[in-house]
Amino acid sequence: RVFDSSTYQSKPEEVSLENASEIARKKIEEIGEFPAQAGEPSVERLEEKDGEVFYRIFWEQKIEGIPVDRGFMSVTIDPAGNIRYFSKYWQNITIDTKPKITEEEAIEIAGQKAPLIDLPELLRERIDLAENVYADLVIKKPFHPLDKDEPLYGEYSLIWEVIFENVEGGLEPTVSFVALSMDAHSGELVGMDYTM
């Protein structure tokens, strides 16, 4: 009788849409890079031209349910469960996540302060003629593109992003916006962002 060692070798687990995130998680834990507070990821099936299937798993960093701007971890695994791509930009942040200003107050304050900001005419019109105005709570570094006295980016803060949004065009509309960043504790405008 001949001993066949292949009978005793464990076969790699076949990767599927259902188990890709768990396989990726185990692989990342093996290299000591999996953050304890990571939530549920999104999983995307990618099929190459030759028919080989890969899976991209993406975790968005959140602190108490609030997204951290540009905080993420992404991994792509092949059909055998091997890591083909890994990127991690996960912030170690301690922050008070309870805003002292409500979403409605943030929108009202931004509307009052916007006329006082020295802005180019195009951005002023976008604020004045905005079709949609809403606010998102995020943790981010304020961006100061127009204030030469401030560093380009501030420190991580709890921010209400008050978005003044315009939709232009017919069949393929384009969305332009001006976003005023407001400290969610003090109500101070701390930055802005916009599309051209």
pLDDT at position 94 over 60: yes
Number of domains in the chain: 2
pLDDT for position 20: 92
Separation of alpha carbons 103 and 135, rounded Å: 6
Separation of alpha carbons 105 and 109, rounded Å: 6
Q: Check: CB of residue 182 under 8 Å from CB of residue 101.
A: yes
Q: Residue 7: helix, strand or coil by DSSP?
A: helix
For CA atoms 106, 91, 178, 144, the dihedral sign is: positive
Give the residue-averaged pLDDT of 120-146.
Answer: 86
pLDDT at position 178 over 50: yes
Examine the domain organization and report whether 152 and 81 are in the same domain.
Answer: no
Torsion angle (degrees, nearest 10) of CA 125, 130, 131, 137 = 160
Whether 97 is covered by a domain: the verdict is no
Can you name the residues that pair with 158 across neighbouring β-strands? Answer: 139
The amino acid present at 69, given as its one-letter code, is: D
Whether 19 is covered by a domain: the verdict is yes
Give the domain extent around 59: 5-89
pLDDT at position 169 over 50: yes
- CATH code: domain of residue 69: 3.10.450
pLDDT mean across residues, the chain? 85
Q: Which of 179, 175, 165 is nearest to 119 (CA)?
A: 179
Q: Which of 68, 59, 19, 66 is nearest to 36 (CA)?
A: 59
